[in-house]
Structure 1
């Protein structure tokens, strides 16, 4: 049976706005900091209509670092799941020093989802706002889209666009070329 196509979406900076802490982009730590980016819900509905499975894949080291609780992260993800048509939210709660396979730029989150959901990685995409998202997608064998941000280098991605709506256009164009 052929696998299904999926879109893997980084959470912070793609689905929701980053929170700026000490001049750096960071993750929200509480539900009251969660702000869905304008246009994301419509973009995800368009991707669903094209037949893609949708997964949020996110590094959340603040749990390991003791800066937020597992319960707070679970509450954030429950709010995100209520707001957006995601099939699953997968989070790495480790820090770099843990050396896990799930922390991006490693591809563990994507590979685990691909196995459990029968995903055709070659027909799938990773959309992120950080260089590590592009590296992760390439390691998993998916096409990559990087959202242009002042805090990334925009190097190495298959496509660079301004926002998730632009990503949907790029994916649509690519899908039409395949047919």
Structure 2
């Protein structure tokens, strides 16, 4: 199970119809369904790994230490198992930056994950494409960004992580008693 960070777990900054990762630690805030959604996925037996592009680091706009502090908070606030990060800009990409599947492929090797039985949840077409190229099922959280293209290779389009969890639990057959309210 792979989750994008900004727009799925954490609330991004919105400007001109697009979403952007927060630049300051104090601005790093989770959606209210993030911790519970991750917890339900864990109880359903999923390994939960965050896969996130953070190109502001590669561009010199945000210190790597700030992003790492955000990830420490994310690890404290949720039951995620790991975080894969691409700090590269498009120009610096070496195959890990979404939509390339590198982060998912690396995590699959590290954790011995069957990608064909895995899911990628994201709020951008690059997340859906990443999951597709890695051989995962993708779920798109539509946050209604006016500038972003709408993906086409997802198994479902939803409006929140809670809805994505319901789709995944139902699709995978890994139901738990508390997951029933998400379906």
* Alignment partner of 1:108 is 2:102: yes
1:150 positional shift: 1.3
- Distance in 2, matches of 1:10 and 1:105, equals 12
- Distance in 1, matches of 2:130 and 2:162, equals 22
Quick check: 135-144 or 91-100, which moved more? 91-100
The 4+ residue runs of structure 1 with deviation greater than 3 A are: none
Partner of 1:99: 93
Q: Deviations over 1:80-105 (max 9, x none)?
A: 11111110111100000013110000
- Distance in 1, matches of 2:41 and 2:54, equals 25
Partner of 1:3: none
Choose from 42, 45, 48 the match for 1:51. 45
| Structure 2: gaps spanning 5 or more residues | 175-183
Q: Name the Cα RMSD after superposition.
A: 1.5
Partner of 1:119: 113
- Distance in 2, matches of 1:42 and 1:25, equals 23
> How many aligned positions are there?
172
1:23 positional shift: 4.9
- Distance in 1, matches of 2:136 and 2:77, equals 26
Q: What are the equivalent positions in structure 2 for 1:1-179 lying under 5 Å apart?
A: 7-21=1-15, 23-151=17-145, 152=148, 153-176=150-173
| 8 Å CA contact retained: 1:129, 1:146 | yes
Q: 1:81 is paired with a residue of what secondary structure?
A: helix
1:155 positional shift: 2.4
